């Protein structure tokens, strides 16, 4: 949007979205005071290509044509030129071919009339009249009269648009832009690509002299000044009343009613509110106008929900959208079609519409979304038949398998619990002082993770916790809190990293953060001299070093500690088998904290099945942006453009190539590519190479030289994959990405974007054709660009690899039949039952007529609504419900929703499986194993009126007449 303010240029916007066009037109009208011209066919496109200014919008499908450009033009536009030898009859014949009709009076568009040697037409595009006069067979003059009749212009050429274009047989090639058409747009034009960039990257590689606003455009971005973050209503009100001064404000929002009521209530003037169906606008201050969009409105008016429950179930970590395969616990595998609303006279509710085999449909109330999980398993799985018994048989076999696996896991866990850990004392004052010294504000997830780690450390059982968070989300700071607590307790800490450069990073960070608090930090890697290692070994034995950071050198037999209390393992899946065995020996009886940006499947599954505890860091630091990910074939134009753009904004580039052989030749090839495209004023970039076969000191020296900005491009193997921070590098090009696993690609992409600048990752493959799994990996990476995508990538990695080896236990073979998400949930539940942590209970179904359709203002999107219901349905205690309810604005429907959830939680604890209305009674159905004592306990708790009738031990009813409404009934019995 900001790019449209650039004056003196023609702007061409390519988009595949009708809502984008609506927003653009409104934006141009209100902000730019300039109309946007929508090009609906190729004839208008030809006209646009000849103009020199203006803002034009083209649907991407208009350019998806094949065939000769001359043929297309001949069938799209007819040019009439003064001085041309052309008979009147030929011109009239062409006009008729292009859809013009004869008229005695020229009142309608696309009409013509002949009077002697003059032909007059009414142009179908502009409505202007054009007089064409002949001298013999030569066109003597062309005069255009505007539609108001008050201006005459003599023209050398006019262009007539084909009105029958849709009838002309033009072959379409869906998804492929005709590059000859696009080349007609002058290179100085700005092309705004509103549609998905990825399908077009291969076609656009030949025109790198074009300016793509979404493809890097600093001059456009600088035109608008970003508005400071506004996160609550008071700050928003202050901004509108005081900070904006006299500037005009335009608010683009889909929460139109909420914003209008807010503006009217507070009597705020000089504000225009525009309804937009989708997002796409970004708040900024542009010229003398303040643009406020849903990036701010969402923060202010959409309630932030508590994320405490996010680690409970795997399916909460996976986005759910229409078109996904899902699995219903009782009914099997289906296609998630949509969220639909159903209304009766007294009832309005929303349902998830599921499509099963043979056209069957199932409507699941949103309050029962806990029964539905995203399916992860066989890509070609068949949908379940609702009418058959196959799903029941599948669940029966799966339950048998889960029983065996649960017992196996518990046996392993029991062996570990025999080794008592050290109970660390609490040092609240000093711990708070250490946290207050952190340069940034902790995110909610970081604060919660620190609390969980401290609780584990203060327990008598040995801690074994996994901290999982995306790259740059603050896992290291959580580890440093644990380290400082261990040191305060008088113990030592070992921090083991798989790579030398990562260990070196940690050492520098720990020294900077911990030294001011008197913590002595040492390092031991193969980079240290023999004398340095001997000194470090002695200091560890004598207790003179509190924290030692190192690579697998720390796993050697000669390493002895005076009092080791905590082991921090970074990216454990990067260690080899031998090193992992050594880690097992060291970890016995001490607290373990593992860090991972993409958890290895086994660690993840052990965490979810209760063998290892997990803390998920899903909240990004403020201002951290997603990394734009682009898939393309090997493309010299894209390489040159990406490097020049990054260097032009003062940054550095990482090029990742995992084959040591040929790296020198590749460096020369890249120099040549950039040399061909750079201007004479630009200096050639300096390239430095690193790979794992170099001596350790050489690797370290080269990486440090790059970090100190002595070089512009780092050409490296995956030695930089983990942990190394390059704050000035915000573009990475990964060559042959199909050869990497998802975890590696995710980590490599995370090497850039560590600051608040826009970051780019190019996945550049060279194969003529990618295999199915290779395509899936790249598409998964490209689709998971949102912040915190590491967990979803790990899940998808399991799905692509297959679930056979997921649990590391031979018996698991049924996970694909029901999907990993449901499989893990069943396993988790069974383990909890066997541990007697909680008895098995069926959630009470509340089948009463009570509405709970929530207003759109509560949600940023349909996906946000689904996630909210999935989250609220995962609550298991009244305390969790109270906490969530306290941060939400209430209205009748929301109060009803919380009432249903509260009733379900309370009634489930008393064995109720269903509460329904039958005739003139409310009926409670209790679970099968209910005893007389259980029924008495139920009546003692809920029969406050002495009006309930025991029909059987498992069925109790009460007459409706005692309560005026369903809401009053529920409130009365659960109070």
pLDDT at 310: 30
Residues 61, 87 share a domain: no
Residues 454 and 596 in one domain: yes
pLDDT attached to residue 173? 40
Residue 678 lies in a domain: yes
Does 585 have pLDDT greater than 50? yes
Token pair belonging to 242: 């005081």
**Alpha carbon 492 to its chain's center:** 39
Cβ contact 202:635 at 8 Å: yes
- Indicate the DSSP class of residue 420: B
Q: Is 385 exposed, middle or buried (0-12, 13-18, 19+ CB in 10 A)?
A: middle
Helix axes 790-801, 601-608, angle to 10 degrees: 110
- Of 165-169, 522-526, 650-654, 940-944, least confident by mean pLDDT is 165-169
Return the CATH number at 941: 3.90.1150.50
Residues 679 and 777 sit within 8 Å (Cβ to Cβ): no
Q: How many helices (H) and strands (E) in the chain?
A: 31, 41
Task: State the average pLDDT over residues 198-204.
Answer: 44
Quote the pLDDT of residue 821.
76
Which residue range is the domain that position 371 belongs to? 308-410+816-873
Both tokens of residue 86?
């052309």
DSSP at 496: E
Cα–Cα dist 701/707, whole Å: 10
Least confident among 121-130, 277-286, 710-719: 277-286
pLDDT digits (tens, 9 = 90+) for 432-445: 999 999 988 888 88
Nearest of 108, 152, 112 to residue 127 by alpha carbon: 108
Lowest mean pLDDT among 352-356, 744-748, 938-942: 744-748
Query: Residue 922: pLDDT above 70?
Result: yes
Question: Which stretches does DSSP call E strand in 344-409?
Answer: 348-355, 361-365, 372-374
Q: What is the pLDDT of residue 454?
A: 96
- Asked whether the predicted pLDDT for residue 219 surpasses 50, the reply is no
Lowest mean pLDDT among 111-115, 459-463, 576-580, 871-875: 576-580
Kindly state whether residue 262 falls inside one of the protein's structural domains. Answer: yes
Residues 690/719, Cβ–Cβ less than 8 Å: yes
The burial class, CB within 10 Å (0-12 / 13-18 / 19+), for 776 is middle
575 and 504 share one domain: yes
Q: Pick 592 or 314 by higher pLDDT.
A: 592
pTM of the model: 0.55
> What is the rounded average pLDDT for all residues in the chain?
77
Asked if residue 128 lies in contact with residue 43, where contact means CB atoms within 8 angstroms, the answer is no
- What pLDDT was estimated at residue 246? 72
pLDDT value at residue 824 = 76
Question: Mean pLDDT across the stretch 486-506?
Answer: 88
**Does residue 419 sit within a domain?**
no
pLDDT attached to residue 127: 81
Q: What is the pLDDT of residue 483?
A: 97
Query: Is the same domain home to 267 and 216?
Result: no
Reported residue count of the chain is: 975
Q: Are residues 603 and 467 in the same domain?
A: yes
* 329/263 same-domain check: no
Q: Closest Cα partner for 141 from 156, 126, 163?
A: 156
pLDDT at 533: 93
CA distance 756 to 625: 7
What pLDDT score was predicted for residue 926?
94
> Pick the residue with more confidence: 573 or 303?
573
For residue 452, give both structure tokens. Answer: 């969980």
In this structure, of 71-75, 398-402, 669-673, 675-679, the range with the lowest mean pLDDT score is 71-75
Q: Which one has a higher pLDDT value, 609 or 392?
A: 392
Residues 6+ apart with CB under 8 A from 895: none
User: Do 484 and 544 fall into the same domain?
Assistant: yes
Which region, left, alpha or beta, applies to residue 550 given φ > 0 means left and ψ of -120 to 50 means alpha? beta
- What CATH number has the domain bearing residue 128? 3.30.2060.10
* CATH of residue 756: 3.40.50.300
Which helix (H) or strand (E) covers residue 613, if one does?
Answer: strand 613-617
One domain, residues 142 and 176: no
Residue 795 lies in a domain: no
Question: Does residue 60 fall inside a structural domain?
Answer: yes
Q: How large a percentage of the chain has pLDDT more than 90?
A: 22
Only one residue has tokens 């934006």, namely 27
Of 104-108, 272-276, 455-459, minimum mean pLDDT range: 104-108
Other Cβ atoms within 10 Å of 653 Cβ, number: 30
DSSP, collapsed to helix, strand or coil, labels residue 745 as helix
Work out the pLDDT band at 217, boundaries 50, 70, 90: very low
| Residue matched to tokens 């009914």 | 331
Angle subtended by helix axes 742-749 and 772-783, to nearest 10: 40
For residues 590 and 458, membership in a common domain is answered with yes
pLDDT of residue 747: 77
Q: Across residues 20-24, what is the average pLDDT?
A: 64
In a domain, 961, yes or no: yes
In a domain, 559, yes or no: yes
Q: Indicate the residue among 580, 596, 617 that finishes a domain.
A: 617
Residues whose CB falls within 8 Å of the CB of residue 104, separated by 6 or more in sequence, listed in order: 113
Among 1-10, 154-163, 522-531, top mean pLDDT goes to 522-531
> Is residue 772 pLDDT above 50, yes or no?
yes
Pick the more confident residue, 487 or 72.
Answer: 487
Q: Exposed, middle or buried, 439 (CB in 10 Å: 0-12/13-18/19+)?
A: exposed
pLDDT > 60? residue 182: no
Give the model's pLDDT for residue 711: 93
User: Is the predicted pLDDT of residue 35 greater than 80, yes or no?
Assistant: no
Q: What is the pLDDT at residue 172?
A: 44
Domain end marker among 573, 590, 617? 617
What is the pLDDT averaged over residues 54-73?
Answer: 62
Q: How far apart are CA 486 and CA 542, in angstroms?
A: 17
pLDDT (mean) for 23-39: 65
What 525-529 contacts at long range (C-beta under 8 Å, 24+ apart), as own/partner pairs, is 525/500, 525/550, 525/551, 525/553, 525/696, 526/500, 526/551, 526/553, 526/696, 527/500, 527/696, 527/697, 527/700
Count CB atoms within 10 A of the CB of residue 9: 17
Query: With contact defined as beta carbons under 8 Å apart, do 561 and 567 qualify?
Result: no
| Cβ atoms of residues 923 and 864 within 8 Å | no
Model confidence at 197: pLDDT above 70: no
Note the pLDDT tens digit of each residue in 808-828. Answer: 444 456 777 888 778 877 887
pLDDT band at 486 (very low <50, low <70, confident <90, very high): very high
Q: Which residue blocks in 146-268 are alpha helix, DSSP H?
A: 179-182, 201-204, 218-221, 233-238, 256-265
Per-residue confidence at 231, pLDDT binned at 50, 70, 90? Answer: low
Exposed, middle or buried: residue 578 (CB in 10 Å: 0-12, 13-18, 19+)? exposed
- Same domain for 357 and 211, yes or no, is no
> Tell me, what CATH number does 321's domain have?
2.40.10.170
pLDDT score of 587:
67
Of these ranges, 557-561, 799-803, 919-923, the one predicted with the greatest mean pLDDT is 919-923
203/105 same-domain check: no
Exposure on the CB side of residue 18, measured as CA atoms within 13 A: 1
Distance CA 960, CA 975 (A): 18
Residues 824 and 953 in one domain: no
Q: Cβ atoms within 10 A of the Cβ of 393, count?
A: 10
Helix (H) or strand (E) holding 973: helix 966-974
The whole-angstrom separation of Cα 127 and Cα 147 is 6
pLDDT of res. 147: 72
Q: Is residue 473 part of a domain?
A: yes
Residues 861-870, mean pLDDT to the nearest whole number: 74
Identify the residue with better confidence: 433 or 262. Answer: 433
Report how many domains make up the chain.
7
The predicted structure's pLDDT at residue 808 = 44
For residue 135, count other CB atoms closer than 10 A to its CB.
Answer: 9
- Rounded to whole angstroms, how far apart are CA atoms 598 and 638? 29
**Per-residue model confidence as pLDDT tens digits over 608-641:** 555 568 888 877 776 567 788 888 888 888 888 8
What integer pLDDT is reported at residue 805 of this predicted model? 42
Judged against a pLDDT cut of 70, whether residue 600 lies above it is answered with no
In this predicted structure, the answer to whether residue 838 has a pLDDT above a threshold of 70 is no
* pLDDT in the model for residue 77: 73
Least confident of 63-72, 170-179, 657-666: 170-179
pLDDT of residue 733: 94
| pLDDT above 80: residue 254 | no
Q: For 107, phi and psi rounded to 5 degrees? A: -90, -25
Which range, of 124-138, 337-351, 478-492, 697-711, averages the lowest pLDDT? 337-351
């Amino acid at each position: 949007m900001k790019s449209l303010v650039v004056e003196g240029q023609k702007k061409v916007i390519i988009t595949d979205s009708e809502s984008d066009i609506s927003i653009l037109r409104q934006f141009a009208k209100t902000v730019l005071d300039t109309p946007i011209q929508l090009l609906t066919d190729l004839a208008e496109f030809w006209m646009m290509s000849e103009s020199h200014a203006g803002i034009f919008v083209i649907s991407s499908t208009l350019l998806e044509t094949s065939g000769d450009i001359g043929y297309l033009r001949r069938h799209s536009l007819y040019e009439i030129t003064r001085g041309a030898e052309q008979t009147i009859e030929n011109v009239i014949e062409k006009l008729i071919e292009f859809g013009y009709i004869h008229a005695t009076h020229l009142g309608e568009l696309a009409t013509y009339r002949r009077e002697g040697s003059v032909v007059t037409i009414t142009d179908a595009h502009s409505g202007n009249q054009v007089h064409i006069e002949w001298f013999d067979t030569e066109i003597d003059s062309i005069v255009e009269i505007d539609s108001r009749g008050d201006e005459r212009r003599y023209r050398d050429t006019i262009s007539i648009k084909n009105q029958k274009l849709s009838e002309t047989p033009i072959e379409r090639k869906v998804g492929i832009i005709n590059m000859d058409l696009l080349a007609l747009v002058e290179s100085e034009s700005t092309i705004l690509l509103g549609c998905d960039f990825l399908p077009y990257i291969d076609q656009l590689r030949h025109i790198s002299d074009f300016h793509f606003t979404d493809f890097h455009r600093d001059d456009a971005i600088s035109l608008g000044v970003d508005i400071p973050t506004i996160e609550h209503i008071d700050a928003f009100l202050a901004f509108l009343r005081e900070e904006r001064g006299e500037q005009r404000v335009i608010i683009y929002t889909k929460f139109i009613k909420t914003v209008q009521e807010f503006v009217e209530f507070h009597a705020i003037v000089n504000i225009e509110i525009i309804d937009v169906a989708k997002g796409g606008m970004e708040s900024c201050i542009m010229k003398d106008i303040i643009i406020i969009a849903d990036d701010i409105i969402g923060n202010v008016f959409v309630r932030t929900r508590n994320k405490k429950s996010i680690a409970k179930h795997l399916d909460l970590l996976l986005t759910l959208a229409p078109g996904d395969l899902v699995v219903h616990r009782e009914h099997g595998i289906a296609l998630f079609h949509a969220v639909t609303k159903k209304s009766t006279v007294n009832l309005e509710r929303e349902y998830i519409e599921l499509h099963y085999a043979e056209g069957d449909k199932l409507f699941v109330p949103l309050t029962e979304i806990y029964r539905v999980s995203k399916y992860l398993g066989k890509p070609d799985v068949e949908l379940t038949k609702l009418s058959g018994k196959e799903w029941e048989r599948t669940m029966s076999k799966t339950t048998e398998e889960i029983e065996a696996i649960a017992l196996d896991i518990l046996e392993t866990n029991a062996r570990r619990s025999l080794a008592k850990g050290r109970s660390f004392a609490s040092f609240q004052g000093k711990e708070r002082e250490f946290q207050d010294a952190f340069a940034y504000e902790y995110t909610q997830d970081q604060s919660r993770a620190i609390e969980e780690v401290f609780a584990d450390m203060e327990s008598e059982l040995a801690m074994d916790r996994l901290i999982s968070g995306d790259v740059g989300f603050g896992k290291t700071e959580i580890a440093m809190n644990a380290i400082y607590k261990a040191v305060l307790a008088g113990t030592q800490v070992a921090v083991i990293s798989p790579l030398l450069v990562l260990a070196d990073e940690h050492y520098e960070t720990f020294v900077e953060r911990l030294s001011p608090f008197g913590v002595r930090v040492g390092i031991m890697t193969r980079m240290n001299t023999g004398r340095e290692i001997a000194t470090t070994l002695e200091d560890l034995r004598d207790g003179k070093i509190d924290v030692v950071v190192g690579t697998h050198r720390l796993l050697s037999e000669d390493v002895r500690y005076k009092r080791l209390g905590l082991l921090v393992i970074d990216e454990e899946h990067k260690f080899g088998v031998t090193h992992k065995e050594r880690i097992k020996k060291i970890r016995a009886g001490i607290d373990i904290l593992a860090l991972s940006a993409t958890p290895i499947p086994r660690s993840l599954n052990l965490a979810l099945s209760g063998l290892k505890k997990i803390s998920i860091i899903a909240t990004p630091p403020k201002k951290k942006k997603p990394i734009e990910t682009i898939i393309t074939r090997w493309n010299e134009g894209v390489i040159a453009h990406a490097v020049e753009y990054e260097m032009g904004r003062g940054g550095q580039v990482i090029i990742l190539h995992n084959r040591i052989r040929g790296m020198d030749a590749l460096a020369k090839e890249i120099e040549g590519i950039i040399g061909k495209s750079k201007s004479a004023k630009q200096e050639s970039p300096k390239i430095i190479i690193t790979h794992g076969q170099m001596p350790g000191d050489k690797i370290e020296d080269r990486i440090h030289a790059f970090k100190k900005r002595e070089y512009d491009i780092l050409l490296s193997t995956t030695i930089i994959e983990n942990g190394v921070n390059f704050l000035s590098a915000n573009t990475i090009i990964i060559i042959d990405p199909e050869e990497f696993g998802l975890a590696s690609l995710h980590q490599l992409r995370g090497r850039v974007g560590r600051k608040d600048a826009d970051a780019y990752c190019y996945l550049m493959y060279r194969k003529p054709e990618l295999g199915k799994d290779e395509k899936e990996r790249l598409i998964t990476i490209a689709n998971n660009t949102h912040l915190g995508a590491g967990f979803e990538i790990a899940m998808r990695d399991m799905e692509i690899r297959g679930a056979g080896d997921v649990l590391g236990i031979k018996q698991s073979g049924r996970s694909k039949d029901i999907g990993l998400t449901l499989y893990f949930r069943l396993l988790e539940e069974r383990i909890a039952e066997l541990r007697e942590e909680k008895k098995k209970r069926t959630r009470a179904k509340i089948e009463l007529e009570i509405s709970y359709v929530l207003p759109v203002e509560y949600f940023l999107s349909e996906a946000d609504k689904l996630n909210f219901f999935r989250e609220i349905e995962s609550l298991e205690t009244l305390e969790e419900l109270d906490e969530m309810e306290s941060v939400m604005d209430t209205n009748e429907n929301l109060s009803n929703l919380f009432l249903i959830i509260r009733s379900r939680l309370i009634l489930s604890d008393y064995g109720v499986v269903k509460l329904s209305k039958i005739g003139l009674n409310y009926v409670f159905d209790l679970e099968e194993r209910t005893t007389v004592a259980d029924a008495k306990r139920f009546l003692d708790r809920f029969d406050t009126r002495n009006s309930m009738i025991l029909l059987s031990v498992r069925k109790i009813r009460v007459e409706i007449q005692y309560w005026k409404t369903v809401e009053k009934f529920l409130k009365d019995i659960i109070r």
